[in-house]
Structure 1
Amino acid sequence: MAAQADRKLVPIVSLDVVGYSRLTEHNERQTLRLVQRVYDRLVARTIGRQGGKVFKTMGDGLLAEFQSVVAAVEWVAALQRELSERRLKVPGGGHLQIRAGVVLADVLVAGDDLYGSGVNLSVRVQVLSPPGGMAITKWMYQYLDGRTDLQFVDLGPTELKNVSRTVRLYVWHPEGVTQKNAAATASEPIPIPQSSRPSVVVLPFDNLSGEADQAYFADAVVEEITATLSRIKDFFVIARNSAFAYKGRAVDVRQVGKELGVRYAVEGSVRRVGERVRITTQLVETDSGNHIWSTKVDGAVSDLFDLQDKVAAEVASAIQPSIRRVEVERARSKRPETMAAYDLVMRALPHLWAHRMAENPHAIAFLSRALQLEPNYGLAAGLCAWAHGQQVAYNWATDVAAERAEGERLIELATQTVGDDPTALTALASAMMQLGGDVPQAVNFAERALALDPNHSWAWMRLGYGRVYLG
């Protein structure tokens, strides 16, 4: 019989970067570097001095516990003041802002992690914080009476998403906040970022064992799957912090799709029987609720870490082609005048992968139209260069010199624009090899693709070709 988990009453702080999805769409690498720098210098170096401890990080946010209510809000206030003064610039314009929610919660302790409805409540409260400020609950406000100089504004009883009762909230901002604009912040819907790529969320897995240690493992599996999928640039992965708000709640994936603006959801469960563990995973289209793909993996309790890695790798390798198939069908159903550059790339793929003389020109036509809409679309440039490479390598071209020149022009464009997209890097490597270009550089591109996505089968194949060419 599993030992009963400990409980404790602690202040919980939830932090989240405002507009993180939009920022990563503008420049993912720059955004990640900025957020990591803020964490290292303004969070990790200071939180321990106030008796705080981070117990979960989620890419664009974190959860922390404190030993003191006063210390929790004072630390958050100091962090927000520092960010307000520094005005750190973010991709696309504007300055980095963080939302903060602070609650006093009775939580379950499992190892170094905390669980319970109070942890979920902190995330819900944080969502209603003014950007650059913090929101706290009535309990927190009453406890602080006379213990801090911070001036909070009363929002009154407030409805929180997936919370059955209203919660009285109070908000603070370093530049002050009025009752009017505080209420406006609470009532405004959170904008859903528009992404040309398909979007996917990995929802918290159900723990069917009823044991606290397996709940911890279920969360670890979700963390690993999310991190692995995030390396695949063919689709956009919703941050773990947003997905965590659904933990412990029975929700329809169609509702999740509407609330988070995602096309696909990964669901799953963990069940332990004796010394064996079974992890079940499925991919669901949120518009229709249809199941696209599912799998189950069995393993021994003694090999949990290996099992976690195995599940993440299997899910990533299966989901990528599954989503691509659905996206191709989605693009085919659109009227030509409504297609964006991404849709045109999806339309090109079946023609491109057909490897037939009659099909390849159709791929080039779709990809060329995509580049007319978005001239710096690295994936379109890389794939189009590869298509022209096929025209030359397979003797399909009537004007070899013209095909080669266009392919080389697109290689130059792709080299400058592919960024950290494994598929685009692989397409670029393929084009270079087929047009007789710099094979060592092409091998380097394939290796970069595999460093980003170790499960990318096309990159492995292209790397193999490159090494054969090099002898």
Structure 2
Amino acid sequence: MMISVDNTSPDNGSDQGRPRRRTAATIFIDVVGYSRLMGSDEEGTHQRWMSMRSDVIEPRVASNAGEVIKSTGDGLLLEFRNPVDAIRFALGMQMHLAESSSAGSNPLQLRMSANVGDVIAERDDIYGDGVNIAARLQEFAGPGGVVISGAIHDQVKDHLRYQAADLGFLTLKNIERRIRAFKIAHHDLRAPTISVAHSLKPSVAVLPLQMLGLQAADAYLAQGIVHDIVASLAGIRELFVVSSTSTLGFTGPTVDPGAVCHRLGVRYLVTGTLKRHGELLRMRVELIDVDTRSMLWTNQYEASISQLFDVQETIATSIAYALLPHIHISELQHAERKAPQSMNAYDLVLQGMYRLYRLGHDDMLAARSLFERALDHDPQYAAAYALMAKWYILHIGEGHSTDFKADSREAFRLASRALEFEPSDPMALAIFGHINSFLFGAYDRAIDAFDRAIGGTPNSAIAWSLSASTYCYLGDGPRAVARASYGISLSPLDPYAYFYQSALTNAHYTNETFDDAVHWGTKVMAAAPQFAANLRLLAASLVAAGSLERAREVGAAHMRIDPSFSVEKYCSWYPIKQPDRLALLGERLIEAGLPR
């Protein structure tokens, strides 16, 4: 049952001039491009707006028990006693305008935003936080769009039928806390689409560690660790991270995670304790998904007080990169629960990434389709372009390409496009670098891209790991091993860890530490048996290590995955710089049973 929101004070009417507080649903309506329209036809535009107000908007407001509070020139502020009536009005207006447009008339384009909350009412106006939020949400609506706050969505979603796309928590001008919002559409219209620019990144806050057994004078220890964790997380561009100064007030064991997340506008919380046992400090850290009230990850770290300042940055980095894969999995599961038509660009990229790394033929096709849909939603989404470029890397590397040159050019175009929108994004730079060395043999240009990625984000696992491959092509085994090992250390729990581990197969093969190459190649084969690029290097490493029978077993597994493979065709493009090393790789593959 919907609760009435007419909460006027008991002394209503006793002091007509005194402002009154109440809870109300408010809607802002705005004419899109009004100034431009007035510039080209002032009189005609004004007349069309006045006619729409009197003939369409005001009667619909009245029929939904609402009131026009004031005009803003090119817009209106409306108030409704009941949130359901407010959203019913907005959806009805949206449908009316869509039908008018399809019937051949040319109505003015409107955008609308709605919120429910406390307002302060005077004789002919309302104002306050509830009104301000509704006003600030309007900029996210777009032509014909309706954006509503999470507060009003929660009150009406079980009473009205409509399509909704989650915008996440938005940062609104002059609003202290972040506000969750949804873009909605009438159920008979096209599902709403949104841009990742609207704060769709996973949002995280790190709360102060609870000090157990420490003196108040030791508070700087806990604060220093939290500051470093936040700094490490902030270096991960996929996350929205609340500053550590914004969380300092949330201390003590009685803090309610739900209230904290609502206040800060985040979904994930990092909490923990810091205990002292003599000179030993023991820290336990947890990652909580507040939406599902579940703990996603926990771990414990130890250091002596004398060592803390030396190791706290390392601990903070370890925590940050241990959290990331769990957040990825949580976000993917969240996306998979949505109806396909309600997924936004971020959800589509997550699902595309998941399918991409499964490597099967159907999965690869599905991944490409998901990335393309993400770009339909948001044509400026750098991550979608970068992952599409990576799709081509795997498409070629796994032996699926029928036109190497054309597919290489498309990979380069997509990677370059990603950098147009995010010039310093480490993933985009790393993929751009790998394409240059892997597909074009442009090693210097590749190293420059990797250096830019690592210089801007020193803890980028993908940049370190992919750069190892370039040093493999150049024949620098020690540097390749060092880079691949560091890449794995940065993302030890990644659900796609095999991709980083395969860099170590290649690195150890290049370094001629063949037993280690076999170890990592076997590990990757167990996790991703369809990864043909790894099987080739594993087979060659087994031949070099003297395990010819096992090498032929791996070679046979490879041919079941890629039956059209030939060593000569592969060696015609594989980018090992030194001809003698490339020829030796070919000979070892032939010894492993792969066709010449």
Bin of the TM-score, shorter chain as denominator length: 0.5 to 0.7
1:239 aligned to 2:243? yes
Q: 1:216 to 1:382 in 2, by over 3 A?
A: same
In the alignment, the residues of structure 2 paired with residue 240 and residue 210 of structure 1 have an alpha-carbon distance, to the nearest angstrom, of: 21
Question: How many residues are treated as equivalent by the alignment?
Answer: 292
Q: Which residue of 2 aligns with 1:230?
A: 234
**1:143-154 map, 5 Å:** none
**Aligned position for 1:184:** 128
1:427 equivalenced with 2:428 (yes/no): no
Which is worse superposed, 294-303 or 235-244?
Answer: 235-244
Q: Paired residue for 2:276, among 268, 272, 275?
A: 272
Name the residue aligned to 1:408: 412
Residue type of the partner of 2:462?
Answer: W
Q: What residue in structure 2 maps to residue 387 of structure 1?
A: 391
Cα deviation digits, residues 278-333 of structure 1 (max 9, x gap): 01111110112211011111111111102311220110120111111111111222
- For 2:330 and 2:444, locate their aligned partners in 1 and report how far apart those are by CA, in whole Å: 35
8 Å contact 2:412–2:432 — kept in the other structure? Answer: no
Distance in structure 2 (CA, Å) of the matches to 1:232 and 1:249:
29
- Does 1:304 find its partner at 2:290? no
Corresponding letter in the other structure for 2:424: D
Shift of 1:363: 1.4
Judging changes above 3 Å, is the alpha-carbon distance between structure 1 residues 365 and 289 closer, same or farther for their aligned structure 2 residues?
A: same
Which deviations, in whole Å up to 9, do the C-alpha atoms of 1:62-103 show, x marking residues without a partner? xxxxxxxxxxxxxxxxxxxxxxxxxxxxxxxxxxxxxxxxxx
Q: What is the aligned partner in structure 2 of residue 60 from structure 1? A: none
Are the aligned partners of 2:419 and 2:425 in contact in 1 as well (CA < 8 Å)? no
Query: Comparing both chains, which one has the higher relative contact order based on Cα–Cα distances under 8 Å and sequence gaps of 6 or more?
Result: 1
Does the CA-based 8 Å contact 1:386-1:430 persist in structure 2? no
Cα distance in 2 for partners of 1:442, 1:369 equals 29
Contact 2:279-2:305 at 8 Å conserved across structures: yes
The residue aligned with 1:82 is: none
Q: Are positions 1:329 and 2:333 aligned together?
A: yes
CA distance in 1: counterparts of 2:322 and 2:251, whole angstroms: 24
Residue matched to 2:93: none
Q: Following the alignment from structure 1 to structure 2, what is the Cα–Cα distance between the partners of residues 367 and 207?
A: 45
Please say if 1:257 is aligned against 2:243.
no
Q: How far did residue 401 of structure 1 move?
A: 4.4
CA distance in 2, matches of 1:250, 1:431: 51
Q: Is contact 2:346-2:374 (8 Å) kept? A: yes
Letter matched to residue 284 of structure 2: T
Output the TM-score relative to the length of structure 2.
0.46
The aligned counterpart of 1:65 is none
Q: Which amino acid aligns with 1:307?
A: V
2-structure distance, mates of 1:187, 1:380? 36
CA distance in 2, matches of 1:249, 1:317: 26
TM-superposed deviation, 1:344: 0.8
* Separation of aligned partners in 1, 2:213 and 2:132: 39
- Assess if the C-alpha contact under 8 Å between 1:233 and 1:423 holds in 2: no
Q: Which residue of 2 aligns with 1:451?
A: 455
The answer for the alignment partner of 1:466 in structure 2 is 470
Q: Secondary structure at the match of 2:226?
A: helix
> Aligned equivalents of 1:264 and 1:346: distance in 2?
17
| Partner-residue secondary structure (3-state), 2:286 | strand
Shift of 1:411: 2.2
- Residue 195 of structure 2 corresponds to none
- Structure 2 equivalent of residue 397 of structure 1: 401
User: Quick one: distance in 1 between partners of 2:251 and 2:424?
Assistant: 31
* TM-superposed deviation, 1:201: 0.5
1:282 aligns with 2:282: no
1:386–1:434: 8 Å Cα contact kept in structure 2?
no
Distance 2:358 2:434 in 1: 16
RMSD: 2.5
Aligned to 1:101: none
Task: Give the secondary-structure state (helix, strand or coil) at the position aligned to 1:376.
Answer: coil
CA displacement 1:180-227 (0-9 Å, x = unmatched):
99x936996735255111110011111112402321110110000001
Which whole-Å CA distance do the structure 1 matches of 2:128 and 2:376 have between them?
41
Give me the whole-angstrom Cα distance separating, in 2, the residues matched to 1:385 and 1:284.
Answer: 33
* 8 Å CA contact retained: 2:281, 2:305: yes
Q: Is the 8 A contact 1:254 1:288 kept in 2?
A: no
State the partner residue of 1:350: 354
The 5 Å alignment of 1:368-379 reads: 368-379=372-383
Unaligned runs of 5+ in 1: 1-179
AA paired with 2:364? Answer: N
Q: Give the residue type in structure 1 aligned to 2:128.
A: A
Question: Partner letter of residue 329 of structure 1?
Answer: Q
In the aligned structure 2, how far is the partner of 1:326 from the partner of 1:235?
Answer: 13
Q: State the percentage of identical aligned residues.
A: 32
Deviation at 1:409, TM superposition (A): 1.9
Counterpart of 1:291 in structure 2: which amino acid?
M
SS where residue 300 of structure 2 aligns? strand
Candidates 194, 198, 201, aligned match of 1:197:
201
Residues 280 and 387 of structure 1, relative CA distance in 2, 3 Å threshold = same
SS of residue paired to 2:296: strand
C-alpha displacement of 1:386: 1.2
Counterpart secondary structure, 2:237:
coil
Query: CA 1:321/1:448 → structure 2, altered by over 3 Å: closer, same or farther?
Result: farther
Secondary structure of 2:459's counterpart equals coil
TM-score (norm 1): 0.58
CA distance in 2, matches of 1:355, 1:430: 19
Q: State the 1:361 CA deviation.
A: 2.1
Match of 1:106 in 2: none
Note the 1:26-37 alignment, pairs <5 A.
Answer: none
Q: Secondary structure at the match of 1:435?
A: helix
Deviations 1:387-423 (A, max 9, x none): 1122123220234444333222212212312333323
Structure 2 contact 438–470 (Cα < 8 Å) conserved: no
d(CA) in 1 for partners of 2:271, 2:334: 22
Q: Secondary structure at the match of 2:302?
A: strand
Tell me the amino acid that sits aligned with residue 325 of structure 1. I
* Structure 1 Cα separation of the partners of residues 297 and 449 of structure 2: 31
**Structure 2 CA distance for aligned equivalents of residues 324 and 407 of structure 1:** 25
Distance 1:328 1:276 in 2: 38
What is the alpha-carbon distance in structure 2 between the residues aligned to residue 407 and residue 367 of structure 1? 14
Secondary structure in 1 aligned to 2:247? helix
In the alignment, structure 1 residue 317 sits paired with structure 2 residue 321: yes
Q: 2-side partners of 1:400 and 1:286: how far apart?
A: 47
CA separation of 1:213/1:428 partners in 2, compared to 1, >3 Å: closer, same or farther? farther
Letter in 1 for 2:243: A
Q: Which amino acid aligns with 1:328?
A: L
Cα distance, 1:264–1:397 mapped onto 2, change above 3 Å: same
1:235-288 Cα distance to aligned partner (Å, 9 max, x none): 110122321231346212122222222111100111111111101111110112
